[in-house]
Every structure is written in structure tokens, then in C-alpha cells.
Amino acid sequence: MQKKIILTGDRPTGKLHLGHYVGSLQNRVKLQNDYEQFILIADLQALTDNAENPEILGKNIIEVALDYLAVGIDPKISTIFLQSQIRELTELTFYFLNLVTVARLQRNPTVKTEIKQKNFGTSIPVGFFVYPISQAADITLFKANLVPVGEDQLPMIEQANEIVRKFNSLYKPVFTQAQALVPKDAGRLPGIDGQAKMGKSLGNAIYLSDDADTLNKKIMSMFTDPTHLRVEDPGKIEGNTVFTYLDYFAPDKKIVQEMKEHYQKGGLGDVKVKKYLNEILQEILNPIRERREHYSKDLDFVKNIIKSGTQKAQERADKTMQEVRQAMKLDYF
Amino acid sequence: MQKKIILTGDRPTGKLHLGHYVGSLQNRVKLQNDYEQFILIADLQALTDNAENPEILGKNIIEVALDYLAVGIDPKISTIFLQSQIRELTELTFYFLNLVTVARLQRNPTVKTEIKQKNFGTSIPVGFFVYPISQAADITLFKANLVPVGEDQLPMIEQANEIVRKFNSLYKPVFTQAQALVPKDAGRLPGIDGQAKMGKSLGNAIYLSDDADTLNKKIMSMFTDPTHLRVEDPGKIEGNTVFTYLDYFAPDKKIVQEMKEHYQKGGLGDVKVKKYLNEILQEILNPIRERREHYSKDLDFVKNIIKSGTQKAQERADKTMQEVRQAMKLDYF
């Protein structure tokens, strides 16, 4: 039986961090054996709100690819490719633009929220406004069956599937609808400052590429319970980032449970808990750092991985677009 | 010195008519000797509001090309090409989407008017909404210096030039601004029913491919002065379509002047004026019909003209896109 296809990816606007690891990278490493996985480095999508600084993308494409290899994405079985090099994505987007109304886009909750977050005001770039359509092209061009997304991205999958239904009924059944794959235990890792989201732009991220010393310093500066002033005082667990991280990463849940009780009772200092978290995270990040180090020494090799992944993606794109053009009766020559 | 470049074209939604002839075709035949002329058969643009019936485009692509050859467009010096086969147009459109805001598109007067005309209501396809951006890609991909348009299309050129300025200042000066070429004497030919516009969908058009008999019948049914009931009655010239046509097409303006005076005084019947117009139009359309007849017998030849024109356009597109990708730092491989 043919393996089902997964489409996933990241915008190359910076190195990847622990939030990405928890939210998706870990999962991709697991899934790559059972699915055919296409991993998109989404530089075209990143352009929609970075049109003024395309050079930051170029630099980060390699960083993101290094992060992939570092966490254990295997380029022999997963296809890592570069969005901007698959011209068919822009072509398919163009055709899809005719299948969606302006009013429908305006109702998309994800777009609404993101427009608010990005403070575009009334100056929303059209490219950003239409990006659900471009994302539908990403998904459908590779005939993805599964798209791993967070809860907040579910409306994007719905939009893509609407386009699929419209296309199939207008022309020919070229596409299949995709299913959202919302990881069960992958919540959202907070930033080290306790903010709900870890983000490049928020300056509160632990990067997969942070060295041991940087990681240690970040953990030591982590937000805990601001009212927990002396070791002997009782401390709070809720909203205490260090414990949230321990819940995610500690292999021995029993020890964490004991520490929590101790902390709440009083007599357990922040530094001690942080040191424990540091041990655990160093152990997780060590092999990732080592692989990153290893690949960093041969960037040509990394570039070739992206290049050959892109070639493979191109072949798939060509195949789908042949069907698309035939279905749309645009195959004149 | 290098010839200046003209970009022009038509949507392949039907055969071309006398309105097209007066408004642009005539001009293209004249201009093709002094300019490098790219003539776009705009099937992609036609898709924006014909997504449901792509097959009508396929049929009409040949009809439009036949009309071009019939009026005297010389494929040896003018480049006739098919929009949908130049994928770089969709790619460039995609990049341009990031350089325009949604608010700016909403202010475009041409789009506003056309949305009203087409009765989209709130269901405007996104593809239609963004078509000024796609048109900017058509113009700039071929580095057109001149774009022949009607007055009502001037905001489209302004939009394209805004994009050019934005692109050039953000990245590199790849593009030059285009000038609108508004033909001086090419007003708008009314329909045979006296309506201001001749249109396929209005059923009031004289096609370049109409045979002698059809042409004669259409002229005989033309709207004149509805109060001019008897030959001896005085008749009105204003709004009298037959005289409007004579103003456009009669080679001898003196005869037309005399006829007008006679008609206004009374004693000149509609049929007589119509017969005179018929003579003139038959003489204009005869050689066009003959050439059309000639080419119709060898459709493979016509297809090859489109094909080799498209190849030439493709070479030009490749060249421009290389510069674009370099300027945008998207030339990774």
C-alpha cells in the first residue's frame, strides 16, 4: 500500500527553538518512518511579511535545514525542499485565487487573528491576505493527506479543503481533502519569561542551537514564582515556567511530582529545580547540538540535501500540475 | 537603438469585433513596424471570471489569433503569445502581491467599476480582485514601455507603475515604468443598437468574421433616428449610429457632411445611408475576411504561430525572472 503523505514545514525567519521541537519537530521524526513526509522551507510565505528584507530568509534557510538534520529528520526518507524554487506553487495559487471569494477570506479566523497580531492596521499586504490560498496550494500540490497543525490553524485546513471540493467539482477530481493532524500532547511551550508563546521576536526562546552555557544561563533566568523569595517559603507551581518545562521534558514524572510537593510546601529553592531542568535539557539538546555541529562543517552537503529534496518535490509538482492543467483544459501545447 | 516595447492583448472570450478594430487592432497594425510588440492572449485573466467554463477559452484562443492575422498583425514582427503558458507571469504576480495593500486595491477605480458591472455583489473572486496586480506582471515581465489602453484603464497603469517603483526601491531597479498610450481618435464605437458600447455579451456587435450577408443585415437593422419615419421628414444626426459609423469609417468626409445636411433637412432615407455604410464596411472587411478564410484552412499554422510566439515570450520571461530572483535574493541554486 502506498504511504500516506504529510506536508509540513517552517518559515525560515530564524533558527528553530524548543517550542518548534515540542510542537512539531519531535513528531516529524517519529512520523517519517510511516508516512511520506514533505517538509517545506516556506520562504515564499515568509516573504509575505518580509518583502523588505529577503536576505534574512536566505541565511535562515540553511539554519532551519541544519535544525531539521540536528533533530533527526532523515533526508533519505523525508523530503526537505525550498518553497520558492517550486514555481508551480505560485501557478496553482493563481488558479485557486479564482475559486475563493474576498468575503470568504475576510471571514477566515486565523487570518483575522494574525492580522491583529502583526499590527498591519489597514495596510495588510495582499500577499498576506491571500496566504490561506497559497497554503492550500502547498498542501494540494503534494496531495498531502495529513497536515500537522496547531488548533489555531484548523481554519486553514478547512479553507484548503473547500478549495479542493470546488476544484474537483468544477473541473476533475484531481485533489483529495487533507486531514489536520493535531498532536495530542503537543501543547504550546511557554517562553522562558513565562509568556504563553515562545517566539523569535519575543526574545524568550531556547534555540536548538544554543550552546550548553547559553542554555544554562537561559534556564537560570527563567520565570518562576515571583513571590517565592526565600527557599523556605512555599512556592507556586501554576504559571511556574520551570515546572511547566519539567512536565514536558523530565523522563521521570515521579521525581517531578515529588519536587512539586516539596516546592509547594517550602524548602526547595528555584536554583535547585533549575539545575535539574538544566541537566535534562542538556541531555536532550546534546545529541542535537552534536549533529548540528557535524553538519555545520559541511554546508555544501546541507545545501545539496535541500537541492535534491527540491528536485524530488519538483517532480511531484510537475506530475500534479499536468493533471491540473488537463483538468482545467489549459494543456494547449 | 533598441525598439521600445509595447504590451497589448485581448481576453479570449469571443471573436473580435469592429469595436476592437477601431479601439486597438488598427493601431497595432500601424505600431508593429516601429515597436517591438507583444500581443497577449489573456486566457489567465479571462479565467478570473470564467473559472467555471475554461473550455470557452480554448476555442476562442484560435478565433482571436485568426482575427489578429486577418487584420494584418504580422507574426514575423509581432509576438502573439498565450498567457497561461508563461508560468513566470503567475510567479511574478505572486511576488507583487506582497507589494500592494488590500486597501490600495479596494481604491482602484477600474476594479470598483468592473465589480459593479459584473454584478459580483459580495462574491468577488479573489482572482478578479487582484487582477490589477496580475496585469502589472503582464506589463513588467516584458518590460513594456508602452501599453495601449482606453481612458478607463489608466488606473491600471498607475497601479503597475506604483509596483514598479516599490519593487525597484526595495530590491534593485529591474523594471521601467510604462506609459499609457491612449489612442487619440480611437473613441468607443457604439453597438448597432445605439448602446454606448459594442460587446459580445450585449449582442450588438459586428464581428470581423461576419460574412457579407450578415454584415449587411446588421447594418440594415442599425439604430438611427426613431422619429425619422418618412423619407421626406428631417432626421437627427446625434445618436444616429449609422452616421457615427460613417464618421469612423467613411474615407470621404465631404460626402458624409453632405449626407448629414441632406438627412437633417429631410429627403434622405435611412436605407440609402445604410447602403452607403454597407459599401464602405464591406470594403474594409473584405480583405480581413479573405485573410481569415485563408488562415482558417490551416489551423495548424495558426497554432504554430501562437506556439512560437509563446516560445519567444518565454525566453524574454526567463531573462526578466532571472533578474527578479537575483534582485530578491531568491536565486539560491
Q: What percent of chain B lies above the pLDDT cut of 90?
A: 78
Distances (CA, A) of A245 to A215, A253, A289: 13, 12, 19
Supply the pLDDT for residue B301.
95
Mean pLDDT (chain A) is 93
Full DSSP string of B51-115 = TT-HHHHHHHHHHHHHHHHHHT--TTTEEEEEGGG-HHHHHHHHHHHTTSBHHHHHH-HHHHHHH
Contact B54 A330 (CB under 8 A): yes
Q: Identify the architecture of domain B5-188+299-327 in CATH.
A: 3-Layer(aba) Sandwich (3.40)
ipTM score over 0.85, yes or no: yes
CB atoms within 10 A of CB B229: 10
The position carrying cell 542535537 is: A288
Contact B124 A134 (CB under 8 A): no
| pLDDT range class, residue B186, cuts 50, 70, 90 | low
- Rounded to whole angstroms, how far apart are CA atoms B29 and B38? 12
Q: Which residue of A has its CA nearest to B120?
A: A101
CB atoms within 10 A of CB A95: 26
Supply the pLDDT for residue A247.
94
- Rounded to whole angstroms, how far apart are CA atoms B72 and B37? 13
Contact A103 B85 (CB under 8 A): no
CATH 1.10.240.10 fits A212-292, yes or no: yes
- Please report, for chain B, the start and end positions of each structural domain, with discontinuous segments joined by +: 5-188+299-327, 212-292
Across the interface, of B85, B105, B125, the residue whose CB is closest to A333 is B85
Max Cα–Cα distance, chain A, nearest Å = 80
The 10s digit of each residue's pLDDT in A148-190 is 887 888 999 999 999 999 999 999 999 999 999 887 665 678 9
Tell me the H-state helices in B108-153: 109-117, 126-129, 131-141
CB atoms within 10 A of CB B72: 16
Kindly report the nearest CA distance between residue A309 and chain B, in angstroms.
12
Across the interface, of A43, A310, A328, the residue whose CB is closest to B54 is A328
The position carrying cell 509595447 is: B6
Supply the pLDDT for residue B111.
79
- Phi, psi dihedral angles at B251 (to 5 degrees): -70, -30
Across the interface, of B47, B58, B102, the residue whose CB is closest to A126 is B102
Element (H, E) at B37: strand B36-41
> What average pLDDT does this structure show over B27-42?
95
Mean pLDDT (chain B) is 92
* pLDDT higher at B250 or A1: B250
Q: Which residue of A has its CA nearest to B308?
A: A333
All residues of chain B having their beta carbon less than 8 Å from the beta carbon of residue A171 are 54
- Cα B82–A105–B88 angle (5° rounding)? 25
Say what the pTM is: 0.90
Are B15 and B60 a contacting pair, CB within 8 Å? yes
Please check whether residue B333 touches A, CB under 8 A.
yes
Element (H, E) at B324: helix B299-327
All residues of chain A having their beta carbon less than 8 Å from the beta carbon of residue B58 are 329, 332
The 10s digit of each residue's pLDDT in B85-116 is 999 999 999 999 999 999 999 888 887 887 77
Nearest to B217 by CA among B281, B286, B311, B123: B281
Supply the pLDDT for residue A1.
72
The 10s digit of each residue's pLDDT in A5-34 is 999 999 999 999 999 998 889 999 999 999
- Rounded to whole angstroms, how far apart are CA atoms A51 and B137? 17
Please check whether residue B1 touches A, CB under 8 A.
no
Supply the pLDDT for residue B123.
84
Contact A98 B170 (CB under 8 A): no
Q: Choosing among B81, B95, B126, B320, which should be mutated to test the A contact, i.e. which has the most A CBs within 10 A?
A: B126
Across the interface, of A55, A58, A105, the residue whose CB is closest to B126 is A105
- Rounded to whole angstroms, how far apart are CA atoms A54 and A59? 9
| pLDDT range class, residue B118, cuts 50, 70, 90 | confident
Tell me the H-state helices in B151-269: 154-170, 212-220, 241-249, 253-265
The position carrying cell 490551416 is: B298
All residues of chain B having their beta carbon less than 8 Å from the beta carbon of residue A48 are 97-98
The amino acid sitting at B235 is G
